Amino acid sequence: DADVTQTPRNRITKTGKRIMLECSQTKGHDRMYWYRQDPGLGLRLIYYSFDVKDINKGEISDGYSVSRQAQAKFSLSLESAIPNQTALYFCATSERGSGANVLTFGAGSRLTVL
């Protein structure tokens, strides 16, 4: 099994629908992140969480919300999806106290909003 698992892997939805992307990890890492990848723009940080009670906005949090249900689970919600949220979404983890802060990524969730 993958260290960081994202579900669903692919989702097509319509404008205005609520969507949840889920992420679970078996790394035992404290820190979890949600990134968005768009062609030509690189990865951009949506939200990050350093533990269950510590959730922070990243550079592009508008239109998104998150929930850290447990140390191992971090979900991303789009309350009312819009077409410009069509993108590849990645969950990542890293270990607190590790000076290198190496990121471990999930396989990605491709979201298409029609």
Partner 1 sequence: KQEVTQIPAALSVPEGENLVLNCSFTDSAIYNLQWFRQDPGKGLTSLLLIQSSQREQTSGRLNASLDKSSGRSTLYIAASQPGDSATYLCAVFAGTYKYIFGTGTRLKVLA
Binding residues for partner 1, rule: CB under 8 A, are: 4, 31, 33, 40-45, 48, 50, 56, 90, 92, 99-108
Which is nearer to partner 1, 3 or 15 (by Cβ)?
A: 3
Output 40 or 53, the one with its CB closest to partner 1: 40
State the minimum distance, in angstroms, from the CB of residue 105 to partner 1: 4
DSSP string, 30-99: SEEEEEEEETTTEEEEEEEEEETTEEEE-TT-TT-EEEEEETTEEEEEESS--GGG-EEEEEEEE-TT-T
Residue number with CB closer to partner 1 (15 or 91): 91
